[in-house]
């Protein structure tokens, strides 16, 4: 908030971090799905999943005070984090006819329980650093502690459950499909303060429920063409304060969102295209400076309403030469901000447009070999709520190849790719007061086979 311009992007080959900063993630998860056909038209299904994760990291994110020279400060913050959740889903699917109408019914319920714990230890004295000419500093003493560092206690506990029902009705020989349904959702979310002796005092409590309807309509004027419309409501978890903020871990209330979409598709096999218009709203969450104190706070202020248009095109240009890509126009307007200060401005980190295109060419002299070229172009993105700072338009070029062959009667696919082949320096996005550096030149290799 204190700077008057955005610093130029860092060279992809330069590391502006400190050697003692690290991030160690360990996750294990599993899932089980079961289906049983009661008859040709009725299927029972169920699923269960569980996840446990442990994270530890010492973080030192630079904060720029002089965007011209790259001078700034860097903090030091150790954060252990743990997460455990279990989820389940069960229901019944059935299809049948009533007269000339074909029905596909889906009914059931789902539930999720999640426990997250965290702690922190930070230095109250920032280090001096430079984004472009970074010197290594000794790790400072992290004496300001919250929570139990060797055994993070619960900071958030969540229970979600829902009941759902939908019926897709098809008639006029499949030319028209109408979907109607609803979901009952309940969210119980508790936030707890950091404590050095165990679970801290409850700092927030939300127990909200909602019945959220869904309706969709698809019309096929011809066999190759479809026109569709849908309206979907949902109850979602609120934001959780993250990053280098004084209210780290604060849980914000759940919110109800409504999405509209209308569009058309055309598909003749060797060529397809789609055009869609949509609108969806969500809370506007971001980090901002607290005056000249050097501290930051995570806030939720007003709404972010996203309206946009998306075009996709896929097809064969010539035998062995294919194109797929598209573009999106987005208007992410801020509404209902405090005092109307930012009403009508554009939300942070949302580009006004994106364009991407892929070309694939099958090599005629090597059966099963294909080369791929891709271009990604992303429009201007604002960095602050006042819309006085933005990161520039950026373009990235990628190249790749794949080769598919058979060995011992089993198909094998080899893939090789280079992302950002020109090693272009750029800021790819902005969020919550941060700039996200673009991917440097990256080499990828993979193989896939059926056993």
Reported as a single tens digit per residue, the pLDDT across 210-265 is 999 999 999 999 999 999 999 999 888 887 777 667 777 788 888 888 999 999 99
Domain that holds residue 169: 22-449
* Residue keyed to tokens 């003493």: 141
Domain membership of residue 8 (yes or no) is no
Number of CB atoms found within 10 A of residue 255's CB: 17
Q: Helix (H) and strand (E) counts for the chain?
A: 0, 26
Show the beta-strand stretches assigned E in 153-270: 154-171, 176-192, 202-222, 225-236, 255-267
pTM score of the predicted model: 0.85
CATH number for 341: 2.40.170.20
Residue 140 and residue 149: Cα distance in Å, rounded? 17
Domain membership of residue 353 (yes or no) is yes
Domain membership of residue 11 (yes or no) is no
pLDDT band, very low/low/confident/very high, at 43 (cuts 50, 70, 90): very high
pLDDT at 112 over 60: yes
Domain membership of residue 343 (yes or no) is yes
pLDDT at 46 over 70: yes
Q: Lowest mean pLDDT: which of 53-62, 68-77, 224-233, 245-254?
A: 245-254
* Residue keyed to tokens 């004027």: 221
pLDDT band, very low/low/confident/very high, at 139 (cuts 50, 70, 90): very high
Domain membership of residue 413 (yes or no) is yes
Q: Is the dihedral of CA 63, 66, 69, 72 positive or negative?
A: negative
Domain membership of residue 297 (yes or no) is yes
Check residue 340 and report its DSSP letter: G
Domain membership of residue 1 (yes or no) is no
Residue 19 and residue 76: Cα distance in Å, rounded? 12
Question: How many domains would you assign to the chain?
Answer: 1
pLDDT band, very low/low/confident/very high, at 291 (cuts 50, 70, 90): low
pLDDT band, very low/low/confident/very high, at 294 (cuts 50, 70, 90): low
Q: What is the pLDDT of residue 300?
A: 82
Q: What is the pLDDT of residue 37?
A: 97
Residue 152 and residue 146: Cα distance in Å, rounded? 10
Average pLDDT of the segment spanning 20-32: 97
pLDDT at 149 over 90: yes
Looking at the chain, the whole-number percentage of residues with pLDDT higher than 70 is: 98
pLDDT band, very low/low/confident/very high, at 346 (cuts 50, 70, 90): very high
| Burial status of residue 108 (CB atoms within 10 A of its CB: 0-12, 13-18, 19 or more) | middle
Domain membership of residue 90 (yes or no) is yes
C-beta separation of 215 from 180 below 8 A:
yes
């Amino acid at each position: 908030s204190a700077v008057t311009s955005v610093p130029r992007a860092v060279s992809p080959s330069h590391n502006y971090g400190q050697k003692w900063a690290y991030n160690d993630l360990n996750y294990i998860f599993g899932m089980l799905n079961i289906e049983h056909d009661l008859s040709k038209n009725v299927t029972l299904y169920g699923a269960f999943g569980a996840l446990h994760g442990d994270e530890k990291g010492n973080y030192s994110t630079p904060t720029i005070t002089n965007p011209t020279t790259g001078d700034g400060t860097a903090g030091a913050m150790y954060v252990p984090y743990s997460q455990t959740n279990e989820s389940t889903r069960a229901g019944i699917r059935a299809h049948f006819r009533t007269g000339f109408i074909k029905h596909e019914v889906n009914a059931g319920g789902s539930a999720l329980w999640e426990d997250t714990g965290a702690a922190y230890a930070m230095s109250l004295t920032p280090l001096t650093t430079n984004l472009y000419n970074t010197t290594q500093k000794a790790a400072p003493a992290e004496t300001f502690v919250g929570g139990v560092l060797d055994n993070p206690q619960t900071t958030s506990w969540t229970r979600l459950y829902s009941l759902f029902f939908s019926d897709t009705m098809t008639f006029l020989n499949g030319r028209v499909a109408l979907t109607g349904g609803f979901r009952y959702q309940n969210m119980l979310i508790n936030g707890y303060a950091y404590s050095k002796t165990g679970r801290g005092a409850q700092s927030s409590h939300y127990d909200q429920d909602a019945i959220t309807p869904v309706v969709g309509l698809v019309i096929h004027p011809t066999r190759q063409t479809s026109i569709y419309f849908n309206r979907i409501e949902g109850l979602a978890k609120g934001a959780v304060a993250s990053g280098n903020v004084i209210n780290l871990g604060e849980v914000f209330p759940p919110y109800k969102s409504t999405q509209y979409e209308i569009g058309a598709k055309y598909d003749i096999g060797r060529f397809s295209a789609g055009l869609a218009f949509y609108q969806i709203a969500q809370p506007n969450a971001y980090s901002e400076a607290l005056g000249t104190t050097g501290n930051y706070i995570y806030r939720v202020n007003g709404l972010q309403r996203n309206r946009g248009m998306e075009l996709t095109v896929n097809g064969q240009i010539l035998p062995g030469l294919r194109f797929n890509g598209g573009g999106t126009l987005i208007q992410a307007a801020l509404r209902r901000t405090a005092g109307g200060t930012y009403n009508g401005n554009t939300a942070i980190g949302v580009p006004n447009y994106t364009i991407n295109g892929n070309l694939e060419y099958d090599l005629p002299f090597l059966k099963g070999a294909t080369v791929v070229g891709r271009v990604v172009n992303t429009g201007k993105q604002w960095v602050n709520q006042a819309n006085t700072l933005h990161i520039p338009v950026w373009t990235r070029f990628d190249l790749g190849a794949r080769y598919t062959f058979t060995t011992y009667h089993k198909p094998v696919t080899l893939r090789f790719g280079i992302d950002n082949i020109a090693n272009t320096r750029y800021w790819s996005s902005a969020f919550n007061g941060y700039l996200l550096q673009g991917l440097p030149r990256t080499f990828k290799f993979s193989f896939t086979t059926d056993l």
